Structure 1
Amino acid sequence: MLQFIIRRIAVSGLILLLGSFVLYVATINSGDPLEDLRESNARNREQLMEARAEIMNLDVPWWQRYLGWLTGASKCLVLQCDLGTTMSGSSVNNMLIQSAGASLRLVTLATFLALFIGITLGILSAIRQYSGFDYGITFLAFLFYSLPVFWAAVLLKEYGAIRFNRWMADPNLSLVMIAAVGLVFAILVTSVLGGPIRRQALTFLVTFLVVFGAVYYFDSVNWWQRPALGLPLIIVGGLVALAFMLVMTVGLQNRKIMYAGLITIAVGIVGYFVTRPLMENPSSWWVVLGLALTTVVVSGAIGWLMGGFERKIAMWVTAMTGLGLGFFAFMDYLLRAWSGFLELTPGRQIATIGDTRIDPARFTGTFWENIYNWGIQLILPTIVLTIISIAAYSRYTRASMLETINQDYIRTARSKGLSDRVVYTKHALRNALIPITTIVAFDFASLLGGAVITETIFGWKGLGAMFAQGLNTVDPNPVMGYYLVAGGAAVMMNMLADIAYAFLDPRIRR
């Protein structure tokens, strides 16, 4: 195994080296870095040209310039990168740190969201093959996958930012809009649950009435400007988390683990009131993370004490139930801060161009309002990157799941009398997710590279802007800085996928 890992690292390093050579040569031959100065009418034009030529080492042969860059880049192995300067004399190191941080915020969040949503939809589509839900997800997946990024971004800027900000000035919904929202949710829930026609009709009617009533109530109390979950919805969220974990593990018939989960929710409610002074305005994220860790420990301990012979499963169920309850409590505090954020940023809640957050040093809001200030700018570009990845993940997961559930060992599991829940979660799902490891590796790298278009449209100062600037000005150092991050991420993620495959399937090691 060690030889396999070393061999993959060596091959990955060679690929990065060859790729850097090709990109460097292509960049320096894509135009004239002095073109703007040659067309200038400035009196000191010659001096400016000489200064730029000296900064960019244009009087040095191209291969020496490449070797100089490669020498500086190789120092990254000992955390002492020297990527040179731009044609204006700015440090590429500093530019790369700022740009990579902005891009990674987008790509990381989009990847996690796409993974969770896409894999979930793919599993449900495979389980309910050829149903209305399956056809609907298939249609939406192909639609999102074929969407031009620039077109989707323009629509989001218009409806998700400009019109949304106008609506937030005086938010209200007509009865027709409320009925449309209820209709959409009713169709979605009915298609997911399925069943006989009578049960589908009942599910559709109940869901429509519940959603219609909830949205009508929210609209009448101006919930859109002063939102909150409240203790009842937090408890409902905890119960939903418990039911989900039971269905995915031991089923709803296991009373012992169910009671452990209910006690976890009861303890969590007490903890909600006890920790209120800390959570009203936490001093830092460490307070929130510390409470989350405490929640996992206490919830796991309840599962351990009440789980009996199934302690490990009980700990897993109660820990995830506690985290689910804590998540809804977190969202309650966050939603309550929305009204304060509206007062601090009237008329520009969601920006259409760039990072328009208030400087944290000058921001006077609370901890929760600062979350909006930090993250509200990520919403639109993250949505664009997410919906495209969701389409790919859902289709790959569906195909892998369908291939797995038709295997002989799945039929053997069914013949033993195992329930569909056990067959799907403990036998089919684990093996169906093995090919997804490769897809995730490719997708993360492609998102990082494809963010160039998204960042350009939204004016986001990330790696995409850095790459475009270097390419437009025929400045190789910013382009190579982009390559170092994007190409390195692509090679690294694929190498990790290969190593993970080798662990999962020993035959690959040969």
Structure 2
Amino acid sequence: MVTFIVRRIIAGFFIVLGASFIAYMLTSFAGNPLESALNISNPTARQQRIRYVTDALNLDQPRIVRYWEWLKGIGGCFVGKCNFGNYTAPGTTGSVNDNLGNYLGVSLKLVSSATVLAIFLGITIGIVTALRQYSGFDYAVTFMTFLFFSLPVFWVGILLKDLVAIKFNNFVQQPAGPTFTLTWMLIIALFFGLVSFSLLRGGFLRRLGIAALVALVFGLLTWYVSASHWLLDPGFGIVVIAVLAIAIAFGITTLTAGVGNRRALYSALTTAVIGIAMYYPVLIFVRDDMSFLKLLMLLAIAVVVGIVVGYAFGGDDRGLNARTGAFTAFGVAVIIFIDRSMLAWKTYSQLTFNRPLATIGSSTPNLKGDFWIGVNDTFSHLLLPTITLMLISLAGHSRYARASMLEVLNQDYIRTARAKGLTERTVVMRHAFRNALIPMTTIVAFDIGGLLGGAVLTETVFGWRSLGYMFQQGLTNFDVNPVMAVFLVTAIVAVLFNMVADIAYGFLDPRIRVTSS
């Protein structure tokens, strides 16, 4: 495996090198970087500008020499002295290095959040539609995924700004408070009722009864949110946290071991109860002087507690119990984190003049507040760009996951597993799901590079100062240095994640690991 990784690193180096040469040549032929300087009326200023741009881009040298000079600056990264060149666009000065780190962090924050959500939701939807093939849910999802896949990124972003952010901000500012009409309550209730009806199996009357119950529950929840003006001051509270924690325990156990495995179920339930009991102490602990490092520490402690509880229940498969407890602990920690973040939503909304959903920029200028205000600000600015990128890639992930799962379910070893009398959960989760993920690793690796490129349009629509802004400004002014900086980052990320995908094959399929070794 080590030899395989080394070979891939060497191959990736030469791929990036060759791609950078092609990109540099194409960018240098795209236009004249002296165009803006030639339009300056003052002769002295014009000559100074021409000399500055010429020196910065080595325009008095052949293109191959310019590329070599740029490459020498990039080669300095191996000794900790990166040099991506200087800006030459009108109104810009300084080194590209000065902004690249900050811009890269902003873009990666957006791309990572969109990628994680797209992978999780896409694979989940794809697997469910494969298991419910040719059902109403399958047809509806197929229609929606093809619709999202065909929509331009910039158009989706503009639409979300109007229909989600602006409409929501106006909604919460109503004199009577954010109140749903009876029509909207019925629409929301019927929507979730139809979704549950299409997902369920069994007789028509059984499915109809459960769907009606789900519709009633969501109808009552919508009425409560409207009557209590919950959107102005949201929060779960200990009762909802307890219900969600128990539901997570049962859900995780169903997926990992099955509720018939009592030791795994008790591990999950015990972990959930510990999480419920720690709700108020955690809120007190994170109230003041909170930081991202402390948040990671609490999450790690929660996962360790889940693992310890799983091992404490013993049995023949302590590892399975430990995984069940760890996943449950992670889920309970996430909902407690969401609840604590929502407790600061009212204050954050007041600081943003009761227009909490942002439509432009990656952060609110001059915003003052604690860690939780910052969390809400990050969520507010990430929400729409993340949904925009996620909807486009979600379509591809769900379709590939569905096709991969259907192919695996038709394999001989799956029919053998069913013939041996294994439960459907065991067949799907232990035999089919893992093998269905193998083709998805390639799709995800390619999609990350595509998302980083697609983020250029998304960041432009939402006015983010990030890699997209740097790339756009560079192209507009024929400034090769920022364009190549963005290209190099995108190329390295694409090659790196393709290598990670190849390594992941070995963990998903031991035959590949043995062959690569």
Do both proteins adopt the same fold according to a TM-score greater than 0.5, normalized to the shorter chain? yes
Q: Deviations over 1:289-322 (max 9, x none)?
A: 2222222222222221123223221122122222
Deviation of the 1:326 alpha carbon:
2.0
Q: Distance in 1 between matches of 2:360 and 2:161?
A: 9
Paired position in structure 2 for 1:426: 430
Q: Distance in 2 between matches of 1:431 and 1:365?
A: 47
User: What's the counterpart of residue 77 of structure 2?
Assistant: 76
1:223 aligns with 2:230: yes
- Checking the alignment, whether the CA contact within 8 Å between 2:283 and 2:340 is kept in structure 1 is no
1:110–1:386 Cα contact (<8 Å) kept: yes
1:446 to 450, 457, 474: 450
After superposition, give the CA deviation of every residue in 1:411-433 in whole Å (9 maximum; x if it has no partner): 11001000000000000001110
Are residues 2 and 305 of structure 1, via their aligned partners in 2, closer, same or farther at CA, if it must alter by over 3 Å? Answer: closer
Instruction: Report which stretch shifted further, 212-221 or 373-382.
Output: 373-382
Q: Does 2:489 match 1:488?
A: no
Mapping of residues 275-290 of structure 1, within 5 Å: 275-290=282-297
Question: Structure 1 residue 347: deviation in Å?
Answer: 3.8
1:297 equivalent in alignment to 2:325: no
Per-residue deviation, 1:508: 6.1
C-alpha distance after superposition, 1:357-409 (max 9, x if no partner): 134xxx43232222112331111111110011111111111101101011111
> Identity across aligned pairs (percent)?
42
Aligned residue number for residue 35 of structure 1: 35
Give the residue type in structure 2 aligned to 1:165. N
User: How many residues of Structure 1 are paired with residues of Structure 2 in the alignment?
Assistant: 507
Of 386, 392, 395, the match for 2:390? 386
Aligned match of 2:260 in 253, 269, 276?
A: 253
Alignment of 1:142-181 (within 5 A): 142-170=146-174, 171-181=178-188
The separation in 2 between residues aligned to 1:493 and 1:289, in whole angstroms, is 24
Structure 1: how far apart are the matches of 2:421 and 2:196?
A: 29
Equivalent residue runs for 1:119-268 within 5 Å: 119-170=123-174, 171-268=178-275
Q: Distance in 2 between matches of 1:156 and 1:84?
A: 37
Q: Is the 8 A contact 2:250 2:268 kept in 1?
A: no
SS of the residue 2:221 aligns to: helix
Deviation at 1:232, TM superposition (A): 1.2
The CA distance in 2 between the partners of 1:339 and 1:2, in whole Å, is 52
Moved more, 29-38 or 424-433: 29-38
Separation of aligned partners in 2, 1:298 and 1:498? 33
Q: In structure 1, what is the equivalent of residue 16 of structure 2?
A: 16
Task: Assess, with a 3 A threshold, how the Cα gap between structure 1 residues 133 and 17 changes in structure 2: closer, same or farther.
Answer: same
Match of 2:356 in 1: 349
Q: Does the Cα contact within 8 Å between 2:238 and 2:279 map onto a contact in 1?
A: no
**1:270 counterpart = 2:271:** no
Give 2:341's match in structure 1, choosing from 313, 331, 334.
Answer: 334
Superposition deviation, residue 437 in structure 1: 0.9
Q: What residue is the counterpart of 2:326 in the other structure?
A: 319
Partners of 1:334 and 1:368 within 8 A in 2:
yes
CA distance in 2, matches of 1:2, 1:256: 38
**Change beyond 3 A, Cα 1:128–1:463:** same
The root-mean-square deviation of aligned C-alpha atoms, in Å, is 1.8
Q: Decide whether aligned partners of structure 1 residues 466 and 134 sit closer, same or farther in structure 2, where only a CA change above 3 A counts.
A: same
Equivalent position SS for 2:317? helix
Cα deviations by residue, 1:200-252 (Å, 9 ceiling, x for unpaired): 11012101111111110111111010111011110111111111112112222
Aligned to 2:400: 396
Q: State the alpha-carbon separation in 2 of the partners of residues 222 and 270 from structure 1.
A: 28
2:461 is the alignment partner of 1:457 = yes
Matches of 1:207 and 1:388, distance apart in 2: 29
**Distance across 2 between alignment mates of 1:249 and 1:57:** 60
Partner secondary structure for residue 438 of structure 2: coil
Residue 277 of structure 1: how far off its partner (Å)? 1.6
Query: Do the aligned residues in 2 keep the contact of 1:166 with 1:347 (CA within 8 Å)?
Result: no
Amino acid at match of 1:7: R
The aligned amino acid for 2:58 is N
Alpha-carbon shift at residue 502 of structure 1 (Å): 5.3
Cα pair 2:96 2:482 within 8 Å, conserved: yes
Residue number in structure 1 paired with 2:65: 64
**Cα separation, 2, equivalents of 1:396 and 1:104:** 24
TM-score, length-scaled by structure 1 = 0.95
Alignment pair present for 1:436 and 2:440: yes
One-letter amino acid matched to 2:318: R
Q: CA deviation at 1:2?
A: 4.1
Residue 85 (structure 1) aligns with: 86
Counterpart Cα distance in 2 of 1:286 and 1:497: 28
Residues 153 and 454, structure 2, Cα contact 8 Å, conserved in 1: no
Establish whether residue 95 from structure 1 lines up as the match of residue 99 from structure 2: yes
How far apart in 2 are the matches of 1:372 and 1:443?
A: 28
Deviations 1:119-148 (A, max 9, x none): 000110111111111111111111111111
Change (3 A) 1:316 1:484: same
| Structure 2 contact 363–378 (Cα < 8 Å) conserved | no
Q: Which secondary structure does the structure 1 equivalent of 2:316 belong to?
A: helix
Compared with structure 1, are the counterparts of its residues 138 and 60 closer, same or farther at alpha carbon in structure 2 (3 Å cutoff)? same
Measure the CA separation in 2 of the matches of 1:472 and 1:352: 24
Asked if structure 1 preserves the Cα contact closer than 8 Å seen for 2:129 and 2:137, the reply is yes
Alpha-carbon distance, 1:151 to partner: 1.2
For residues 364 and 476 of structure 1, do their structure 2 counterparts lie closer, same or farther at Cα, with a shift above 3 Å needed?
A: closer
- Of 469, 472, 486, 1:468 maps to 472
> Is contact 1:470–1:479 with CA below 8 Å preserved after alignment?
yes
2:368 equivalent to 1:364: yes
Asked if the contact 2:56/2:85 (under 8 Å) is kept, the reply is no
Residues 98 and 220 (structure 1), Cα distance of their counterparts in 2 relative to 1, 3 Å cut: same
Deviation at 1:475, TM superposition (A): 1.1
1:162-218 CA distance string (max 9 Å, x none): 222111212111011111111111111221223221111101210111111111011
Task: Report how far residue 356 of structure 1 moved.
Answer: 4.1
AA of the residue aligned to 1:54: D
